[in-house]
Structure 1
Amino acid sequence: MPLNKPVRRALHHTRQIQCQGFEREDGLWDIEAHMTDVKTHNVDNAERGGYVGAGEPFHDMWMRLTIDRSLKIHQVEAEMDASPFRHCPGIVGRFRLLEGTRIGPGWHRMARDMFSGIQGCTHLHELLTPLATTAVQTLWPLTEEITVEKATERMLDTCHGWSRHSDFVRKYVPHLYVEEETLQYNDSES
C-alpha cells in the first residue's frame, strides 16, 4: 500500500542506493553498493567548476565488500566518481580497515567507531548498512543447513519480526518464546 497522497510539492533531491550480491568463481562473494545524490537545481560549488548542475550527481560513490560464507570480509574497495570536495576521495582507502572483520552482532557499532567524524566519509559509512543486509540476504540460506530453529537463534531479537515475543517464535520454536510485557510504542517520540 503506498503512502497517502501528499500536499502539492516539487522534487529537489533524489538519493538512489542499489546493492547487489555476486557469487564469484573462486568461492568468495562480492557485495556491491552504488549511491548517487542528484538535485533538480544547480548548486554552487567552487570545487566542482563553480557549480554542480541540475541532474548531475553531487555524490556518486561505490563500495564492494568481498566476503566468504561466514560473512568475514576479505577485501574492501571504495571509489568516489563524484563528491563535493576534491579531497574527499582521499578517505576511500581507510575503509580497508574492515578487512578481516565479520559482519554480525556489534559490527555496525565497530564500523561507526572506526569511521566517525574526520576518520571517515558519512556517505560511504551509510552504505555499510545496506551492504551488510545485502550480504545476509545474498547468502541466505546458503550459509548453512538452515532450519527454523537455527535461523531463529541467529536472528532472535534483531528486529520486530524476529522478536522472542512474536507469534512466529511461539509457534515454531516455543522454547525460545518469552511472554511479552506490555510495550508502549509512541510514534511521536521517533
Structure 2
Amino acid sequence: MPLTAAVERGVLHRRTIEVVGYCRQDQLWDVEAHLTDSKTNTYANPWREVLPGELVHDMWLRLTVDASFTIRALDVASDKSPYPACPQATSAFARLVGLTIEPGWKKKLKEQVGGAAGCIHLAELLGPIGSVMFQTILPLLYDKGAFEKHPRPGLIDSCYAYRRSGEVVKRFWPNLPAE
C-alpha cells in the first residue's frame, strides 16, 4: 500500500511531469521533460481565462548531453502559460549550454535561470532531468566498465544506497577509502 487512506477530498490542481531519457545515434543522450498544470475550477487573470480541465501550463524542455554530462544543446518550449510574458523566459535557458551536470548543479541552475532570470516551472524540471540523465547514462557506462573503475563524482554519499559505508559502494568500489 503506497500511502495510508486519505480523508475525503476533491482535486483542485493537477501537475503532471513526464521525463524520458534517450540514447541517440550520435553517441549523445537526450532527456526530455514535459510539464502540464490543470485545474478543476475556472482560473482567470487579466490576460487569460482557463476553463476546468484546460491546461494552465504546457511546457517542454530537452537537454542533450555527452558522456561527461556536459550540456551540448537545449530546447525549450512554453506552449501554454498564464501570462503573455512567460514564453519570453525560455531564452534564458540557453545559458545552460556548456555546463556540466555534477555536484553543485542546482546552485548553477539558480544562478543561471533562477528567480526573475528564468521560469520557475522550467527550472523545476531540471531537477528530475538531472536524475533521469544519470538513470539513462549510468547503466550504459556500467556495461562498458567505466562505472566500476571510477565512481561518478558526487555519487558517493548522494543517497542511502550509495553511502560510503554501505553494501553497494563496498561491492562496486572495494578499494574506495572508508573515510
Please give the TM-score of this superposition, normalised by the length of structure 1.
0.84
C-alpha RMSD of the superposition: 2.1
Residue by residue over 1:38-97, the C-alpha shift from the partner in whole angstroms, topping out at 9 and shown as x without a partner, is 11111122211xx21110111110001111121111111111011110011001011010
Superposition pairs of residues 22-171 of structure 1, within 5 angstroms: 22-48=22-48, 51-143=49-141, 144-148=144-148, 150-151=150-151, 155-170=155-170
Residue by residue over 1:110-161, the C-alpha shift from the partner in whole angstroms, topping out at 9 and shown as x without a partner, is 1111122210110000000111111111112223524546347661011122
Judge conservation of contact 1:169–1:177 (CA < 8 Å) in 2: no
In 2: Cα distance, 1:126 partner to 1:174 partner: 36
In 2: Cα distance, 1:16 partner to 1:165 partner: 36
Count of residue pairs the alignment pairs up: 177
Residue identity over aligned pairs, in percent, reads 38
If you compute each CA radius of gyration, which structure gives the higher value, 1 or 2? 1
In structure 2, what residue type is equivalent to 1:90? Q
Structure 2 residue runs without a partner (length 5+)? none
Structure 1 residue runs without a partner (length 5+)? 180-190
In structure 2, what residue type is equivalent to 1:138? T
In structure 2, what residue type is equivalent to 1:157? D
- State the match for 1:9 in structure 2: 9
In 2: Cα distance, 1:86 partner to 1:139 partner: 37
Residue by residue over 1:89-108, the C-alpha shift from the partner in whole angstroms, topping out at 9 and shown as x without a partner, is 00101101010111111111
Name the SS for the 1:112 alignment partner.
Answer: helix
The ranges of structure 1 where at least 4 consecutive aligned residues each deviate by more than 6 angstroms after the TM superposition are: none
